[in-house]
Structure 1
Amino acid sequence: MQSNKMKKKPMILAFALGTCLGIQVSAQNPNIAKQVHHDRIFLQDYSIKNVGSLSTANQFSLASDRNGVVQILEGNQLLRPYGGQFQVNGKLVADRSYLPMKDKKVLAIDRYQDHLVYIDGEAVFSNAWAGVVFLKHTLSNPTAFAGGDDFTFLAAAKNKLQLLKKGKAPYAFSLPAGVNILDVVFDAAQNQFWILGEKELFSFSPKSRTLTKAVTADQLTAVAIHAAKNQLVIGTKNGFFTYDLKTKKQSEVNQKLPWTEITTIQSDAQDIWFGTTMGAFKMDAAGEFSYYFGERWLPGDQVKDLIVQGNQTHILTENGLGTIVFEEMTLARKAEILEKQMRERHLRHGFNSSLNLLEAGNLASGQLDDSDNDGLWTTMYLAGEAFRYAVTKSPEALQNCRESLEAMERLYTVNDVEGFPSRSFERSGYIEQLSDPERWQHASDPEWDWKSTTSSDEVIGHIFVFGVMAEIVDDPWIKAKSIELLDAVMTHIVKNDLYLIDFDGKPTLWGKWNPDYVNSFPTSVGDRKLNSSNITAMLQTAYHFTGKEMFKEKAFELMDKYGYLDNMMRPMEGIGRSGDDGDDWAKMLSDGWNHSDDEMYYVGYWGLYRYAFDKDLQAKYKESIVDHWEAERPEKEGLWNIMTALVQPENFDLEESIWFLERHPIDLIGWTVKNSHRKDIELLDANFRGQLTKEVLSPSEIKIARHNANRFSLDGGSGGKTEYSPGDIWLLPYWMGRYLEVIK
């Protein structure tokens, strides 16, 4: 992020085992009832990928057995996944488990009674049951088969079929000429096979040996038994429909799907999985979709086959096998996993940093990246660790606070400008290899360089975390150092007429809170409201912890004389484009909703509300904060909702907050995602806020993004070339929720 004003132009559903939301009395204020979430078990999804291009255009089969063995048939070769782990790709290798199998020309594989079964040009056979299953057929190049009751199998080749049973001669029959059989499935409840062609679906009773045409439709591709509803689910090249096995009635074709070109279907209890030419999706009993598309989940786009096995769904694509794992987890356990990621891969000199990947998805190729906002991202992680320590008294969390606070302190001491925070610092000699080399300056210490032009989003983040740590971290050095740095930067700002003055003696581009600047904007331009809110929060925080009257006096001067309180109290619905009464700068700043501004508002709300000069002001601040929250609610942004619990714990969209935390991926690699092609989303007309759809998509389906991004963005990502830090993205909202006692 270049600055707080840079403009960007144009899963499985984790679920709870029971409800855990309730209303409780606040321990901090017994007069206030609050919403509380008690941690619960949910299913966290993540992917294990085993890559390998499949060379043939068809003849794919995928099956697994009760032991978790997964086999893939490509052409006549049996493959199996090997070596894949979470965030570490494995590969597809030849399966040499049974030596005689290498000489078998296997044509299809399937699962029967939890074991692997094969068909070749001679028989249906298996290596299970001590190898006694060997049922000969006389079909030419069979392509599909299924097992029924008591080791009865139905095998198919083009339009020819044979019913096979041990000790009996094959029963042969045919479908009408021209029918090409795509698949065969068995319905145990009705004791009948279903035979799918490209335009027709037939039932066959093995008992009466009766063949019946049940469905005629165009472009059929897949069929599955959905026992929970006693129906067939039938896929086409443009949607799916159902067929009720009792009433024999066929539904309308459902085309309001993530993608409509269906290649395969599998039923799993109440859920139905669909493979398509653009990823896979699951439909639950309520008709809600979870979409798995892109390299976060799958090595390829075109789903050839899929199977559901326990807590895993194996999805075969043209570029290998993606296994979606659903692991029972709690938020507390998820926090441990993401804390480990943070500490192992995202610390640079104590800063909370992204990891740039020289090879897409390869964490071993990672290089820690400097950022314009090293200070801001670090303050957000540091605040989360402060909340963690306040809740748990963890020595590890306390040490993490010390180390990152040392990095924050050095932002002030590495340069020679008193009270001025650098954006970042790095060892000398690397300026040309760092981002924005023109912003870097040489420090007095020849071993180091520092980054100038610090912006307002950096400063408000500093004030936020200095206040948090000074208040809640019971450690003398941390408290003293936080107050010292808070005093230094705010003294610099007040003494410089509410400007942040850089090494060149000039204000930085964004470090401006002076009334001449703030009130130069039309009231519709968000910067007028934002800067008023931020500087008031900053001055209140400084006064609260230092007791210096100049901070309080300046704040009331701004509110009473220059209308900063009025600026703050203007409703969010009035924020929009500047119109003809604004200059070019105002027009640029107001060409659309700036989500970095939301981040600045919210980190400022801690000091604005918590350290308010009096109760009357606090009530006004609450009104302004809740008004902002109402505008943000459609995004279901976990951090904004939980921060709103600071002022309104009885009503802050707790359920949506937990939705954000539970459904957020634990794979934070910036894989490219695409959703704009989906048929199940309702697009909105272009609007100022950039809300593209009526409902925001799950965090598991959109790009990995920090809290300053538009959560309605449908497409994006870095092509797998970045791993983002969970420190600010996930750990901050979780631990703030724990500290505010809305998550227990």
Structure 2
Amino acid sequence: MKNLYRHYIWLISLLIVSCNNTEKKEEAVSQIPNYQDVPYIQDLSIKYNAEESELLQVQMDRNGVIQVLSSEGLLRTHDGQFLYPGTLLKDKTYRPLTDKNISGLTLYKNQFVYLDDKAVFSNAWAGSLYLLHDLPKAKLLTAGDNFNFLISDGKALQFLSKDKPSWKSKIDDELIAIRYQAANNIFWILGEHSISSFDASNNTLKTIQQVQKLTSFALLEDKLVLGTSNGYFELDAITGKQIGAIQNKLPANQITTIETINGELWFGSNEGAFKLREDGKFDYYYGKRWLPSNDVKRISAGNDGSVLVLTDAGLGHIIFKEMTLYDKALYYENQVRNRHIRLGFNATLVDMDNGNFDSGRLSDSDNDGLWTTMYLAGEVFRYAVTKSEDALQNCIESMEAMERLFSINPVPGFPSRSFERSGYIEKLHDPDRWQHTNNPEWDWKSTTSSDEAIGHIFAYGVMAELMENDLKDRAITLIDTLMSHVVRNDMYMIDFDGKPTTWGKWNPEYVNARPKMVGDRKVNSSNIIAMLQTAYHFTGKEKYREKAFDLMDNHGYLENLMRPMKEVAPAPEDADDWSKMLSESWNHSDDEMYFVGYWGLYNYAFNDSLKSKFKASIINHWEAERPEKEGAWNIMTALTGTAEFDLNEAVWYLKEHPLDMVAWDVKNSHRKDIELIEPNFREQTTKEVLPPDERRIQRHNGNMFTLDGGGNGKEEYSAGDIWLLPYWMGRYLGVISAPQP
């Protein structure tokens, strides 16, 4: 009985310990944040270009028909899809309208109402609306209630109604806009230096003179929002008194039009359109990513929640679409496969004519290997999460390209930068780097760099870790092939000429020749230890382990890679010229190399002590990168298991990234709503980074604080490395959920 009793006690104790351990594991897992991928609102733009005519007004009726009033009459949208612009053509739908001198366009009960030199009329209501007026040069038209309308020719006003007598008056000002306030049955009239109100119930007209020259206005609850050439201000609609100071810390201060849409203020300017958010900041729509031109004439609401932005060159139809991050990923997957695969590489489409994909060509790149390995790793993560046959086939095709980088040149274990069919060398990037092969059909690109090498090892490590088919063995073979070349050649990559490439150098004589504050000393040390650890983990060959510990113990590589980021700085005056060149400013390509290498540095650390050190180094780097809100760096930091890696900012990056990946020109340096900071080593220009859809399209190795730039619509970047890698890595690490209903 005592033995049985002791056995029971032992069993109960074991269960308690087991439960406690399970609770601790569950608690540890629960500490890692997870974004639930529920639908959010994604904006995109369909653009319609116009022939040379003055564009005046735009409206969408209850049927979704869009009409634009121009100096040449009524226009309507033709064709037009996202990324494929349409045009504005003369509207011949209703022939009698083409003979009328239409000068005004508005909506009443979501039906088109027109103004010409004789009447206010409509084709709705069986054409029964036809109100004659006495202002042959009338150009302003606004609908009130009960089929009431107020029109103006810029000086005189006339009130028209189906049920009430006509009313006329004049205002001593140049009138530029009319608005109707339904709650009070009041028409508000904007002059260049006045605000007037017309009470339709008793035909009372009141005028308040304004000092500022006014350009536009809108109604927002009981306020009038008045635009000027230097910002906007608000008036109390009841008292007529100004509310607060003029607002001129805007994306653009020269206001051309204001509209209230779904309770939000939209502004047009001579430098794009912008919307005031609840937090007091602005969503800025600048450039051909969003608009045919930046000179905005009118803004109006679509009946489907969209926004119509009329410019001097056409119409930007901004659509707000509900989607999940997974939906966005599927869109980008199609974008990559449709336009960005060159011989299995993840490539850029270049030489486009103003964003026209059909006019572009696939380009080679110095970094074909790097951009492809980042895409390849993302597809491996996708396959690990979804078991998608499509993802598997993508991996196979990119892996074939990566393998051929090694086999197409005569140097054992040396990966080419790229390859292409022969006869085009003079048309390719850096023609002096290209070499002929023994096959007259093909050429290969030499001078491979360290960022290519770390990309190779990252992708092959991910593949070897997560694949269970022959791709796993092929990945391990390439890891061993590349790292055998490096170790055999005294920690250099040796090119076809028997010399080290400019950047493929991890030998202590080169690495430690740099002063300690120069970033190359730290990044090269971090990368090579990650590469050697990955090679040892998957091959078990002692030469990789021995070399890594030799570098860490005898050549200071552990100290190099653990050096805090705050110590990275310009080289001193007495340093060599190469070190000074390397440290002129913060190197964002180095950031990419670090984070791509962290997969092997952390996951395959030789022991727990090193793993703990490497985690501290990764988090120290992430802390330095936090202002950029870089989606990839935040999600890659999550691989350490830390609970704090700015998941919200990573999701922000993924959501705010534009669906349009064309390298349109953008400009932000003129904005008054951003806070500029003093020039600095990191080249951070503003206190807070702008959203990706307000910046130029760029890869992860670019400075996220660059305010202006782009490619004038000549290139489209691939989402393969830019967006799909962080998304699918986030899915694999469990910090982003599958799509939720």
Q: TM-score, normalised by structure 1?
A: 0.94
Does 1:107 find its partner at 2:100?
no
The alpha-carbon deviation at position 474 of structure 1 amounts to 2.1
Cα 1:196–1:27 change in 2 (3 A) is farther
What is the CA distance between 1:245 and its match in structure 2? 2.7
- Which residue matches 1:192? 186
| Offset at residue 358 of structure 1 (A) | 3.5
Contact 1:311–1:327 (CA under 8 A) maintained in structure 2:
no
In structure 2, C-alpha distance between the alignment counterparts of 1:291 and 1:711, rounded to whole Å: 17
Question: 2 CA distance for matches of 1:31 and 1:694?
Answer: 34
- Does residue 667 of structure 1 match 2:660? yes
Q: Say yes or no: does 1:235 pair with 2:233.
A: no
Of the three residues 64, 67, 83, the one matched with 2:60 is 64
**Does 2:71 match 1:55?**
no
Corresponding residue for residue 252 of structure 2: 259
Give the equivalent residue in structure 2 for 1:434.
428
Q: Which residue of 2 aligns with 1:647?
A: 640
Partner residue, 1:465? 459
1:368 aligns with 2:362: yes
Query: Could you tell me how far 1:285 is from its partner in structure 2?
Result: 2.5
Which residue in the other structure is 1:281 paired with?
Answer: 274
Do structure 1's residue 403 and structure 2's residue 401 form an aligned pair? no
Instruction: Give the counterpart letter for 1:473 in structure 2.
Output: M
- C-alpha distance in structure 1 between counterparts of 2:451 and 2:72, whole Å: 60
| Compared CA separation, residues 460 and 255, structure 1 to 2 (3 A) | same
Q: Secondary structure at the match of 2:526?
A: helix
Contact 1:185 1:225 in 2 (8 A): yes
Q: Per-residue displacement from partner, 1:292-333 (whole Å, max 9, x unpaired)?
A: 111111111100111121331111111111111111111010
How far is the alpha carbon of 1:53 from its aligned partner?
A: 3.9
1:262 and 1:91 mapped to 2: Cα distance?
26
In the aligned structure 1, how far is the partner of 2:98 from the partner of 2:704? Answer: 51
CA distance in structure 2 between the aligned counterparts of 1:301 and 1:365, rounded to whole angstroms:
24
Structure 1 window deviating more from structure 2 (33-42 vs 242-251): it is 242-251
Q: Which has the larger radius of gyration?
A: 2
What's the offset of the Cα at 1:30?
4.9
Q: Does structure 2 conserve the Cα–Cα contact (< 8 Å) formed by 1:61 and 1:109?
A: yes
**Aligned twin of 2:133:** 137
Cα distance in 1 for partners of 2:182, 2:710 equals 45
> Kindly tell me: are residues 302 and 533 of structure 1, through their superposed partners in 2, closer, same or farther at Cα, counting changes over 3 Å?
same
**Residues 598-647 of structure 1 deviation map (CA, whole Å, 9 limit, x = unaligned):** 00000000000000001110110011111100110000000000001111
Which amino acid is 1:144 matched to? L
Which position in structure 1 is the counterpart of 2:676? 683
C-alpha separation in 1, matches of 2:329 and 2:403? 27
Query: Do residues 325 (structure 1) and 319 (structure 2) align?
Result: yes
What residue is the counterpart of 1:601 in the other structure?
A: 594
**Matched residues in 2 for 1:26 and 1:636: separation?**
31
Give the secondary structure class of the aligned counterpart of 2:37. coil
Which 10-residue stretch deviates more, 201-210 or 628-637?
201-210
* 8 Å Cα contact 2:352-2:713 kept in structure 1: no
2:612 — aligned with what? 619
Aligned to 2:120: 124
Q: Is the contact made by 2:60 and 2:301 (CA closer than 8 Å) also made in structure 1?
A: no
> Residue in 1 aligned with 2:531?
538
Distance in 2 (CA, whole Å) between partners of 1:260 and 1:370 is: 42
Unaligned runs of 5+ in 2: 1-21
Q: Deviations over 1:176-195 (max 9, x none)?
A: 3xx01100000011210100
Given that 1:538 and 1:604 are in contact with CA atoms closer than 8 Å, whether structure 2 keeps it comes out as yes
1:456-514 CA-to-partner distances (Å, cap 9, x unmatched) read 00000000001000001221x10010000000100100011000000000000000000
Residue equivalent to 2:261: 268
Could you tell me how far 1:521 is from its partner in structure 2? Answer: 0.6
Corresponding position of 1:352: 346
Q: Secondary structure at the match of 1:158?
A: coil
1:5-32 CA distance string (max 9 Å, x none): xxxxxxxxxxxxxxxxxxx999999556
Distance, in Å, in 2 between the alignment partners of 1:428 and 1:303 is 49
Matched residue SS, 1:38: strand
Q: Deviations over 1:530-573 (max 9, x none)?
A: 00000000000000000000100110111111111111111101
- Structure 1 residues 336-359: Cα deviation after superposition (integer angstroms, max 9, x where no partner): 100001001100110000011331
Amino acid across the alignment from 2:359? S
Aligned identity (percent) is 55
2-side partners of 1:461 and 1:607: how far apart?
A: 11
- Please tell me the residue identity of whatever aligns with 1:164: L
Q: For the residues of structure 1 that align with 2:27 and 2:394, how far apart are their CA atoms? A: 30
Structure 1 range deviating more: 480-489 or 130-139? 130-139
1:150 aligns with 2:146: yes
Q: Which runs of 5+ in 1 are unaligned?
A: 1-23
Query: Could you say what secondary structure the match of 1:646 adopts?
Result: helix
Indicate if the aligned counterparts of 1:25 and 1:33 stay in contact, CA closer than 8 A.
no
- C-alpha separation between the residues in 2 aligned to 1:38 and 1:427? 46
| Conserved? CA contact 2:59–2:106, under 8 Å | yes
How far off its partner does 1:409 sit?
Answer: 0.3
Q: Which segment is superposed worse, 154-163 or 340-349?
A: 154-163
**SS state at 2:534 partner:** helix
The aligned residue for residue 445 of structure 2 is: 451
Helix, strand or coil for the counterpart of 2:175?
A: coil
Aligned position for 1:39? 37
Give the structure 2 partner of residue 14 of structure 1. none
SS of aligned partner of 2:639? coil
Separation (CA, whole Å) in 2 of partners of 1:27 and 1:473: 26
CA contact (8 A) 1:26 1:34 kept: no
Counterpart CA distance in 2 for 1:167 and 1:224 is 27
Alpha-carbon offset, residue 99 of structure 1: 1.0
Contact 2:215 2:257 in 1 (8 A): yes
User: Are the equivalent residues in 2 in contact too, given 1:106–1:118 (CA < 8 A)?
Assistant: yes
Asked if 1:93 is matched to 2:89, the reply is yes
Q: Could you tell me how far apart the structure 2 residues matched to 1:437 and 1:668 are?
A: 27
C-alpha deviations, 1:246-285, integer Å up to 9, x for none?
4543121100100011111111123111111111001123
2:419 and 2:444 in contact (8 A); partners too? yes
Q: Which runs of 4+ in 1 moved over 3 A?
A: 24-32, 246-249
Greater shift in the superposed pair: 146-155 or 721-730? 146-155
* 1:397 shift after superposition: 0.6
Contact 1:642 / 1:737 at 8 angstroms: preserved in 2?
yes
State the distance in 1 between where 2:654 and 2:164 align: 58
**CA root-mean-square deviation:** 1.5
Q: Deviations over 1:218-257 (max 9, x none)?
A: 1201111113xx3221111110111223454312110010
Deviation of 1:429 (Å): 1.4
Change (3 A) 1:308 1:25: farther
* Match among 452, 476, 498 for residue 505 of structure 1: 498
> Partner of 1:514 in structure 2?
507
| 8 Å CA contact 1:270, 1:284 repeated in 2 | no
Q: What pairs with 1:478-497 in structure 2 (closer than 5 Å)?
A: 478-497=471-490
SS in 2 for 1:182: strand
Task: Quote the offset at 1:55 in angstroms.
Answer: 2.8
Selected match of 1:418 from 412, 416, 422? 412
Amino acid at match of 2:144: G
Residues 1:79 and 2:67 aligned together = no
SS of the equivalent of 2:705 reads coil
- For 1:723, what is the secondary structure of its paired residue? coil
Cα shift readout 1:157-215 (whole Å, capped 9, x = no counterpart)? 12211111115431111113xx0110000001121010000011111111121112245
> Secondary structure at 1:579's aligned position in 2?
coil
Give 3-state SS (helix, strand or coil) of 1:304's partner.
strand
Counterpart-to-counterpart distance in 2, 1:507 and 1:189: 78
Relative distance call for 1:717 and 1:60 in structure 2 (3 A) is same
Name 2:555's counterpart in structure 1.
562
Query: 8 Å contact 2:196–2:208 — kept in the other structure?
Result: yes
Secondary structure of the structure 2 residue equivalent to 1:96 = coil
| Counterpart residue number, 2:380 | 386
The Cα of 1:662 is off from its aligned counterpart by 0.5
